[in-house]
Amino acid sequence: MTLNLCVLTPNRIVWDSEVKEIILSTNSGQIGVLPNHAPIATAVDIGILRIRLKDQWLTMALMGGFARIGNNEITVLVNDAERGSDIDPQEAQETLEIAEANLRKAEGKRQIIEANLALRRARTRVEAVNAIS
Amino acid sequence: MSCSNLTMWVSSKPSLSDPSALSSRSFIAPFHLPNSSTPSKSPSSTQIQCGLRELRERIESVKNTQKITEAMKLVAAAKVRRAQEAVVNARPFSETLVGVLYNINEQLQTEDIDIPLTKVRPVKKVALVVVTGDRGLCGGFNNYIIKKAEARIRELKALGLEYTVISVGKKGNSYFNRRPYIPVDKFLEGSNLPTAKEAQAIADDVFSLFVSEEVDKVELLYTKFVSLVKSDPVIHTLLPLSPKGEICDINGVCVDAAEDEFFRLTTKEGKLTVERDVVRTKTSDFSAILQFEQDPVQILDALLPLYLNSQILRSLQESLASELAARMSAMSSATDNAVELKKNLSRVYNRQRQAKITGEILEIVAGADALI
């Protein structure tokens, strides 16, 4: 009984194969999914998806979306997804610093909303890179 | 003086001219002045007045231009296939999304939905997202979109509404840069292949504008890919979204989200054509015991930005495909024009060359004759 995971972004399929277990970050906390999980639908927060393939954990940075789990099929729809191994640690760190600087400079409701989103995304990417090492 | 004698002599005794490559009569006229060589077919009867060397250079440069335009056409054709594949790759996402949206809406039929992205407010300010191309040499593509944008701005002004523009693509950027009287919110660069990241950048901007209540409506101006020779600039209302996920035109014509239209580049009778298909995605029911981890309203709140992103990406992809198709047809007609120009120039060149040879022969013969 294996779990089939499908991670979709608007322009490509990021992951479409079998996994043993995943840990998903949702708006209401992290949930772990094992084979034969009860069917649920949940919103996915900007955070990290951990995938276990035979005792090896992989991380993926997800930029918010939706997940549907049922019948040993997990479908995750996100705005953008990046594998932890594909992210350059230095570049992610720089992006994080720029995002923090932007947030400090932000004025007005609109800029604060934008800056907050950018900061959360940058932070997730840095965490995804660090979580492997 | 001596020339004119010679000409008359040649005309009366055609057998004396060198028979190898010349037909004497037609070269009398160019002997005076090489200006009556306008070919009867070309509508623009430009008079080609150059010396032999310049003509040779011109023919060379036209040949090079033709090579370039033909290469550009083939490159654009190859890129259209890639753009099409990108649209096909985007389908699994949008199909799943639409299915889920439908199901959630069924569950929320009776409830009052209060999500920032669907809030309909009285409109005071409108944001226009204008999608243009990055490079030129694509016929009237960029011009059509910009004209449509200007027309819409005039309409909004006439209605007394304020507006701001988000320009995507270098051509639009340079146009709006030169017109400081149009308020532009942000300039974004397009790219060769629109990715989710670019759609995300536009979506972020639009989202923050709408949620912070700076604008009350967001409209998207892009070019719809109708066929290889026809594309249509259209205006779609991006925000506020309808909870059912319908895509609405500015005139209020709404298309159901489940009806997905996609285009396919195929060959019919040896020529490239475009087929558009409308596919209705199957909205299957969820299993009855499906539990929502969060409130259905929260889930809808997470789904709608996804929908916004996929709409923006879709419009970017269609714009790119239209730009490539426009470039293909523009380069194809440029190549045809270059071929015709080269033919005309070669004809003039040959006539001049032969006239020159005739002249030399006549001089020689006249000189020989004078010695006798």
Q: What is the pLDDT of residue B227?
A: 77
pTM (whole model) above 0.80: no
Q: What is the DSSP letter of B15?
A: G
The lowest-confidence range among A25-29, A40-44, B291-295 is B291-295
Q: What is the pLDDT of residue B269?
A: 56
- Other beta carbons within 10 angstroms of residue B25's beta carbon come to 11
For chain B, say whether A28 makes contact (Cβ under 8 Å): yes
For chain B, say whether A64 makes contact (Cβ under 8 Å): yes
Report the distance separating Cα A62 and Cα A24, nearest Å. 9
Q: What is the CATH number of domain A89-131?
A: 1.10.287
Which among A39, A64, A118 has CB closest to B290? Answer: A39
Give the mean pLDDT of A6-30: 87
* Active-site residue, selected from the candidate residues B3, B138, B248, B254: B138
Report the distance separating Cα B151 and Cα B145, nearest Å. 10
A89-131 has the same fold as A3-83: no
In the block, tokens 């070019």 appear at B223
Per-residue pLDDT of chain B (372 residues; tens, 9 = 90+): 333 333 333 334 444 444 443 444 434 333 444 444 444 444 444 566 668 899 999 999 999 999 999 999 999 888 888 887 888 888 888 888 887 877 777 776 666 667 777 778 888 889 999 999 888 888 888 999 999 999 999 999 999 888 899 998 888 888 988 988 888 777 777 777 888 888 888 888 888 888 888 888 899 999 888 777 788 888 888 888 776 656 565 555 555 554 555 555 555 555 555 555 555 555 455 555 567 777 777 888 888 888 888 888 888 988 898 899 899 999 999 999 999 999 999 999 999 999 999 999 999 999 998 887
In the block, tokens 């409209």 appear at B219
Length of chain B: 372
In the block, tokens 């995304």 appear at A121
Helix, strand, coil percentages for chain B (3-state, nearest 5): 55, 15, 30
pLDDT tens per residue, range A61-71: 888 888 888 88
Q: Do A110 and B214 touch (CB under 8 A)?
A: yes
Report the distance separating Cα B332 and Cα A49, nearest Å. 49
At the topology level, CATH places domain A3-83 in: ATP Synthase; domain 1 (2.60.15)
Q: What is the DSSP letter of B213?
A: T
Is B254 annotated as catalytic?
no
- Other beta carbons within 10 angstroms of residue B45's beta carbon come to 10
Q: Where are the domains of chain A?
A: 3-83, 89-131
**Residue of chain B nearest A65, judged by CA positions:** B302
What are residue A39's phi and psi, to 5 degrees?
-70, 125
Q: Identify all chain A residues contacting B290, using CB atoms and an 8 Å cutoff.
A: 39-41, 70
Report the distance separating Cα B178 and Cα B164, nearest Å. 16
Average pLDDT, chain A: 86
ipTM of predicted assembly, 2 dp: 0.81
Residues in contact with A104: Cβ distance below 8 Å, sequence separation at least 6, in sequence order: none
For chain B, say whether A46 makes contact (Cβ under 8 Å): no
A7 has pLDDT over 50: yes
Report the distance separating Cα A30 and Cα A45, nearest Å. 10
Q: What is the pLDDT of residue B37?
A: 43
